[in-house]
């Protein structure tokens, strides 16, 4: 190792903070921070363009710790370089409401760009950052005015590379030639179960070269080699870069370095004493001398970088005032001033011009109508654009035009969704992604992460039930809607016609801190008649679609394609003299947020005779109908047959709804 003593001491500050915080919490992962300390010192002190006094500066470099279990590495870096992460925060590592949670969490800690921990998703977010940077730069930069121009850096480990999502996103990154993405691989050969050679023998260099990446190998403790490799990576403009850093996990611990014992548990008091001696670190726990802080402080340099960029941006504003204003609007996440008015005009047009079409087609119509108002809309589909109907009139694929607005993700549902999370986090875009509802399962954890991080990501899921027909039970969703609806901070919309589809799109676009799942049918669905008040109430998530004649005796609740069955049952029961109401519930989560008076006006609590109908798993709906109510829906997987045969086979019919209503009455 050729590291000068001053740099080694600076890196050792990371090591000591990491093992002390983990020891105090009696929980955590000291090995990765200790092993990657030298890499981090090079990147954060020599290359990373950032301003600790303004963590959200637009043209900063982005940094992602994909191996998020090593969170103390990032917290130590933030503390040392001058962010709002104090030594008291470090001492409160992994404690309730601390700024130093067990894994980095977006929104909790200044300087943390994304929530990481589920392995592989951090590198996917980083790919999203790099896509967003490249696309935003192509859309807004002009000759002599490079206002968007920065790198995305990512640390990852063996676990990230073992996760299949890393293949999905790194393959796409190479194809899209994301030259400003630089990834450092902590090649320490150790995971929780021990030496990875027994279960991870890939030739990572060849793997990434096959993706179209620049690949370099260095000693991860040689700062000169790391410096040169980073310079080479920045110089490469057309390929993303992987720097394979051979490191020793827990570096500095005499008895635990290089072993799984340093991976996910405190070193222990005795070993910490020995480690301090080995590192020649004679300061008290959590005590750092002034020269360490002086060596690490990045505030003056960061402020100068930002001030220089702001001067450049002022010149850009003078030269291109409209572009500058539009860029700021988009990165702030604000919709255009005229959006609401024009969106409502589109919704009214859908009601005034009835069409009996599949809601997936209604969704495409909505995109075509709304996209011209929203240049920030960045669409994509997992190789199903022709089935999801996500391609729109003004679409330009990124592989053809760097300033485009559509991404062909290929068959990469998980990677696609996690990349979209990164794009949303970056800002300047509202991403939507699409696949069949059944294959949401591949993307499930990334959907959860967008909800956890409060990101406006729109998930378009088509082919929403047994109604897709002959493809059979492997493609027919049953339990997926319940899973989505159970996710906190996720709005799941299942509209019944063109009007509800338009409202679902508009509300998803307006939900600034909430992701949405828009669920659309393959088969054609009939238009439903409504008055102005009913149209307005769709945005409340649930509303009275058909009012009872006379005394209210029973309520039918339905969504999507099953609204047709509910209305057919309503007509027959009303003709028989039974007072029945139909409630359309396109988004139960939004309905649940309405004031109690409104909810009670739609679902009067005294009316206990209730039936829900949806071609999905029945259990979810008992929260609305009660244990005495009935649900017409699915309790098994589907079958392979035409849709017209499947609904009668599973007894999801008008007659089944009628009989259920009569039973509860």
User: Among all residues, which ones are annotated catalytic?
Assistant: 413
Residue 653 to residue 613: CA distance in whole angstroms: 9
User: In 3-state terms, what secondary structure has residue 311?
Assistant: helix
Angle subtended by helix axes 121-140 and 440-453, to nearest 10: 70
190-191 and 194-195: which strand pairing?
antiparallel
Paired tokens of 493: 């919309």
Paired tokens of 630: 């009935």
Query: Kind and range of the H or E element at 109?
Result: none
Paired tokens of 203: 């030739």
Residue 580 to residue 599: CA distance in whole angstroms: 17
Residue 66 to residue 326: CA distance in whole angstroms: 32
Residue 499 to residue 532: CA distance in whole angstroms: 12
* Residue 157 φ/ψ, nearest 5 degrees: -130, -170
Residues 6+ apart with CB under 8 A from 208: 170, 174, 215, 242
357-358 and 524-525: which strand pairing?
antiparallel
User: In 3-state terms, what secondary structure has residue 132?
Assistant: helix
- Torsion sign, CA atoms 222, 224, 227, 233: negative
Residue 633 to residue 466: CA distance in whole angstroms: 11
CA distances from 328 to 96, 113, 133, 427 (A): 35, 19, 14, 10
Q: How many CA atoms lie within 13 A of 255 on its CB side?
A: 11
610-617 and 630-634: which strand pairing?
parallel
- Hunting for tokens 């008008």 — which residue is that? 654
CB of 64 closer than 8 Å to CB of 113:
yes
Instruction: Tell me the sheet residues that pair with 556.
Output: 582, 611
CB of 550 closer than 8 Å to CB of 543:
no
| Rg, C-alpha atoms of the chain | 28
CA distances from 425 to 110, 113, 115 (A): 14, 7, 10
């Amino acid at each position: 190792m050729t590291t000068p003593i001053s740099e080694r001491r600076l890196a050792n500050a990371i090591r000591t903070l990491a093992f002390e915080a983990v020891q105090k919490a009696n929980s955590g992962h000291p090995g990765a921070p200790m092993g990657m300390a030298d890499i981090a010192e090079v990147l954060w002190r020599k290359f990373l363009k950032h301003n600790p006094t303004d963590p959200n500066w637009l043209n900063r470099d982005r940094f992602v710790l994909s191996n998020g279990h090593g969170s103390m590495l990032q917290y130590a870096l933030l503390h040392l370089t001058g962010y709002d992460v104090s030594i008291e925060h470090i001492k409160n590592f992994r404690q309730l409401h601390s700024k130093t949670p067990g894994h980095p969490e977006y929104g909790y800690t200044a300087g943390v760009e994304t929530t990481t921990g589920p392995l592989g998703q951090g590198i996917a977010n980083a790919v999203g950052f790099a896509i967003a940077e490249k696309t935003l730069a192509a859309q807004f930069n002009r000759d002599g005015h490079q206002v968007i121009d920065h790198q995305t850096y990512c640390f990852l480990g063996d676990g990230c590379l073992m996760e299949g999502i890393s293949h999905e996103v790194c393959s796409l990154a190479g194809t899209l030639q994301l030259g400003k993405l630089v990834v450092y691989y902590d090649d320490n050969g150790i995971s929780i179960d021990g030496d990875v050679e027994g279960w991870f023998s890939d030739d990572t260099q060849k793997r990434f070269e096959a993706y179209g990446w620049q690949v370099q190998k260095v000693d991860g403790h040689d700062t000169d080699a790391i410096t040169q490799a980073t310079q080479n990576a920045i110089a490469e403009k057309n390929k993303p870069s992987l720097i394979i850093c051979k490191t020793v996990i827990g570096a500095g611990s005499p008895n635990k370095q290089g072993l799984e014992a340093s991976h996910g548990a405190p070193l222990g008091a005795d070993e910490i004493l020995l480690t301090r001696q080995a590192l020649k670190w004679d300061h008290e726990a959590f005590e750092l001398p002034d020269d360490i802080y002086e060596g690490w402080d990045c505030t003056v340099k960061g402020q100068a970088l930002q001030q220089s960029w702001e001067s450049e941006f002022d010149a850009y504003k003078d030269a291109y005032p409209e572009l500058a204003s539009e860029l700021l609007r988009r990165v702030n996440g604000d919709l255009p001033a005229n959006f609401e008015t024009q969106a409502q005009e589109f919704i009214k047009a859908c009601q005034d011009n009835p069409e009996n079409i599949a809601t997936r087609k209604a969704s495409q119509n909505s995109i075509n109508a709304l996209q011209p108002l929203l240049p920030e809309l960045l669409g994509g589909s997992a190789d199903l654009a022709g089935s999801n109907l996500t391609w729109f009139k003004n679409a330009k694929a990124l592989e053809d035009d760097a300033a485009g607005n559509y991404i062909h993700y290929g068959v990469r549902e998980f990677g696609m969704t996690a990349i979209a999370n990164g794009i949303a986090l970056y800002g300047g875009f509202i991403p939507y992604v699409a696949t069949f509802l059944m294959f949401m399962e591949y993307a499930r954890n990334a959907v959860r992460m967008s909800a956890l991080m409060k990101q406006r990501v729109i998930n378009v899921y088509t082919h929403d039930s047994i109604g897709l027909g002959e493809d059979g039970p492997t493609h027919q969703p049953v339990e997926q809607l319940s899973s989505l609806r159970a996710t906190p901070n996720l709005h799941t919309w299942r509209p019944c016609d063109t009007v509800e589809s338009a409202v679902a799109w508009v509300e998803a676009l307006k939900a600034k801190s909430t992701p949405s799942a828009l669920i659309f049918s393959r088969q054609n669905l009939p238009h439903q008649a409504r008055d102005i008040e009913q149209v307005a109430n769709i945005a409340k998530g649930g509303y009275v679609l058909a009012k009872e004649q006379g005394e209210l005796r029973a309520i039918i609740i339905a969504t999507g394609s099953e609204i047709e069955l509910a209305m057919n049952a309503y007509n027959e029961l009303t003709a028989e003299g039974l007072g029945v109401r139909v409630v359309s519930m396109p988004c139960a989560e939004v309905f649940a947020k309405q004031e109690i008076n409104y909810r009670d006006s739609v679902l009067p609590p005294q009316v206990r005779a209730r039936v829900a109908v949806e071609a999905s798993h029945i259990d979810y709906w008992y929260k609305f109908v009660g244990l005495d109510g009935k649900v017409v829906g699915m309790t098994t997987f589907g079958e392979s047959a035409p849709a017209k045969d499947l609904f009668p086979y599973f007894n999801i019919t008008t007659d089944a709804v009628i009989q259920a209503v009569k039973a509860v009455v």
